Structure 1
């Protein structure tokens, strides 16, 4: 099961989405509330939130997503228990809360809204709430004997081991036989060997890694092998070329007819690799 959480200020709008009848929404948990629609529930939240004038994002919004198989078999009472157990793991205590389940898609999921302000006017500490939500969902799954994220990851790794081994084999063939001079030629070589290597560009427009697509599956380089991340591939390219032929002095590389910036750490790492290589050759190692 996956858990996501954040603090919000737009309570009514968010709750309106959760209580969307078009998504076959069903209330599975109601705690210290009597309202029958998002507007009434929001007003009840506000009465308690008026006890604390300093907190702006005064509603906690969570999404709990069991695995497809778990979601299909869980009944209303069991989903209520999931929400309550999650709240207990998050140490939310006694406060207003309402949860809806959406079954409009294959993946059943719970929308849980909790008043961040308790009945004494104290605001819940939302530091690192995203990470804590994930950990609480994992513990909830373990307690209720649902499938955990770790179990899903282990199953996926087991099922895709042969595919990842084959991608690594083609990666090694590309390096050994084609001896690419730079990242662009490496991508071209891998494509010729049946693997599409897709650059991952972050919000700053910098290259942060690659994804490998093969036979309908997609993997990060680190999921295949620790040496198949961006830096690992770069270090292997220095077998055949000096760093300044792989990365320009401006810390950019050319990929798919575009000039893309790369992290300075990568340029330094490749330079160190090249220096070590020169020293080893000079010493006859």
Structure 2
């Protein structure tokens, strides 16, 4: 299963493509009654114009099961899967203007979701920060729950088939973070800040945990894409950041010492 998402300005071209009866059929809709793209856009504009600051007020989402899974899934299962996908992205289907359309013209049956970002109950906009990455992981988690094949599972299997010595296949976000940590500590550091920066370039933010006395009592690892947060000990009990600074992990003739410019 593949999940895709992006915030966009919406418009007739996108909705005309989605609402094409020659491509498929409507799965479900919420808070919309228009009969054609023009009427639906007019409806959505009435709500979206309540927020004057946001630029991209529409979400274009795609959920695509594998070919075999797509043939097996019923419409009720496709709808349930779509609602769960949106919930993973912070979208309450009952409180947003939504049109979901199934395209069947290709071997891959897939669902296009045209969604207004504005929550009609709270007046808040759905956070679109890293929404593309969030959609990928949301599809993976849903596929895992429903025993369906996900794109990330396929990727992991391909990696495993060609894996290098010492590389382990991530089985969870924690495993992925730990593998990135192992890669990061192949270098020698003069300060923890250098290590933090290297981890951040790999999509993991390391945050100190401060107690009431203002003292650092540990660290948390945050997956930037999914916002999942774990204590260092939860990721792996072997992690000890105190040993990183000034301790070369590999021979210096294998990899050069990382250099950082001031102010970077």
TM-score band by shorter chain is 0.5 to 0.7
Instruction: Tell me the equivalent position of 2:10.
Output: 10
Alignment check: 8 A CA contact 1:89 1:139 kept: no
Call closer, same or farther: CA 1:275–1:9 in 2, change over 3 Å: closer
Question: How many residues were matched structurally?
Answer: 166
TM-score, normalised on structure 1? 0.53
Give a deviation string over 1:74-98, Cα, whole Å, max 9, x none: 1222111111111111121221111
Match 1:127 to one of 109, 126, 129: 129
Q: 1:154 to 1:31 in 2, by over 3 A?
A: same
Tell me how far 1:103 sits from its aligned partner: 0.9
Q: Could you say if the C-alpha distance between residues 69 and 275 of structure 1 is closer, same or farther in structure 2, counting changes exceeding 3 Å?
A: closer
Larger relative contact order, structure 1 or 2 (CA cutoff 8 Å, min sep 6): 2
Instruction: Describe the shift of the 1:127–1:274 C-alpha distance in structure 2 as closer, same or farther (beyond 3 A).
Output: closer
Compute the displacement of 1:19 (Å): 1.1
The CA distance in 1 between the partners of 2:25 and 2:45, in whole Å, is 23
Does 2:143 align with 1:141? yes
State the 1:156 CA deviation.
4.3
Which structure has the greater CA radius of gyration? 1
Please report how far the alpha carbon of residue 68 of structure 1 lies from its aligned counterpart in structure 2 after TM superposition: 0.9
Q: Deviations over 1:217-257 (max 9, x none)?
A: xxxxxxxxxxxxxxxxxxxxxxxxxxxxxxxxxxxxxxxxx
Change (3 A) 1:107 1:275: closer
Report deviation, 1:57. 0.6
SS of residue paired to 2:22: helix
Mapping of residues 1-285 of structure 1, within 5 Å: 1-23=1-23, 25-93=24-92, 94-119=95-120, 120-156=122-158, 161=161
Q: How big is the alpha-carbon RMSD for the aligned residues of Structure 1 and Structure 2?
A: 2.4
1:42-73 CA-partner distances (Å, limit 9, x unpaired): 11111110110111210001111111110111
Q: CA separation in 1, counterparts of 2:99 and 2:131?
A: 18
CA distance in 2, matches of 1:35, 1:107: 28
For the 8 Å contact 2:10–2:57, the answer to whether it is kept is no
TM-score (norm 2): 0.57
Distance 1:275 1:153 in 2: 28
More helix by share: 1
Unaligned runs of 5+ in 2: 165-251, 257-264
